[in-house]
Amino acid sequence: MASSDGEAVVELKIPGKPEYVGVARLAILGVASRMRFSYDEVEDIRLAVGEACTTAIERAASAQSPSPEVRVRCMIDPTRLVVEVTDNNVGSATPLEPTAAAESVLEERSLGGVLIRILMDDVQISQESDTAPHVVRMTKYVAGAAR
Amino acid sequence: MQLKVETRTPQEGAAVIGLEGEVDVYTSPRLKQEMVDLLNRGLVNLVVDLNAVKYLDSTGLGVLIGGLKRARERDGDLRLICDNMRILRIFEITGLTKIFDIDRSEADALAKLK
């Protein structure tokens, strides 16, 4: 766990296949439960990380990636939890950011991205180039902790 | 945890799909297939019972949206049963409470079907 010396890191790598998203959710549940989050906040974090992993896996499927992997890196400190979900897929077949056409709530694809933005306090989605890994970086702050 | 899908037909033309477990990217294709099969059999009024669902993500929401669209295309409907606050919240924050009719009990849902 985090100490005053700095942050603790928990990292997990899962095969980019649908049956492993549940494993990542269990791991994040373990991490978030040990921090000073409320029950609802822990559930929010679990859902957001699950959505990010799901998006990564859907990207792998649409890119027909031969050996997809998803890395979940949790950076824990007393004031916040930062989770980075990184995929190794080449290309960006399925953008997570809602496009203009996908903004309707009836558009199923954009829901994951919408959920992540609502559930977490700070979200950054980046990809340095078309062939670079896609990174979703999400932060949840511990209520009442000094930032 | 996996997803258990159990369907009953308590009244003519209507089916109640009871779900238990987690509805996610891995399990939701089974829910989708169940709804497609029921609609193809002419059961166009569907009720999906979410009370025993422990986890629902955007993939599951997408499958429910697809089921609602398909049911309405066939002049049917899809209603949800849910009294779990955690699951209801997901519908609220995504704005989907405007699209879905959500009842607290099976009796209510069946009574309100066309």
Asked whether residue A51 is assigned to any structural domain, the reply reads yes
Q: Tell me the pLDDT tens digit for each residue of B39-67.
A: 999 999 999 999 999 999 999 999 999 99
All residues of chain A having their beta carbon less than 8 Å from the beta carbon of residue B58 are 51, 54, 108, 111-112, 114-115
Mean of pLDDT values over A40-53:
96
Mean pLDDT of A112-118: 93
Structure tokens at A44: 């929010």
Query: What is the domain-level CATH number for residue A43?
Result: 3.30.565.10
Domain holding A14, by residue range, is 8-141
In a domain, A1, yes or no: no
Closest residue, chain B, to A58 (C-alpha): B25
pLDDT at B13: 84
| Domains contained in chain A, number | 1
The answer to whether residue A2 sits within a structural domain is no
Regarding predicted confidence, which is higher, A108 or B6?
A: B6
- Quick: pLDDT tens for B74-111: 999 999 999 999 999 999 999 999 999 999 999 999 99
- Of chain A, the end-to-end C-alpha distance in Å amounts to 18
Does A115 contact B58 at a Cβ distance shorter than 8 Å? yes
> Chains A and B: how many Cβ contacts under 8 Å?
60
Report how far apart the first and last C-alpha atoms of chain B are (Å, whole number).
35
Burial of A128 (0-12, 13-18, 19+ CB in 10 A): exposed
Could you tell me the domains of chain B?
Answer: 3-112 (3.30.750.24)
Give the mean pLDDT of chain B.
95
Q: Evaluate whether residue A147 is within a structural domain.
A: no
CA distance A29 to A16: 19
State mean pLDDT over A33-53. 96
Say how far apart CA A94 and CA A131 lie, in whole Å. 13
DSSP tag of A90: S
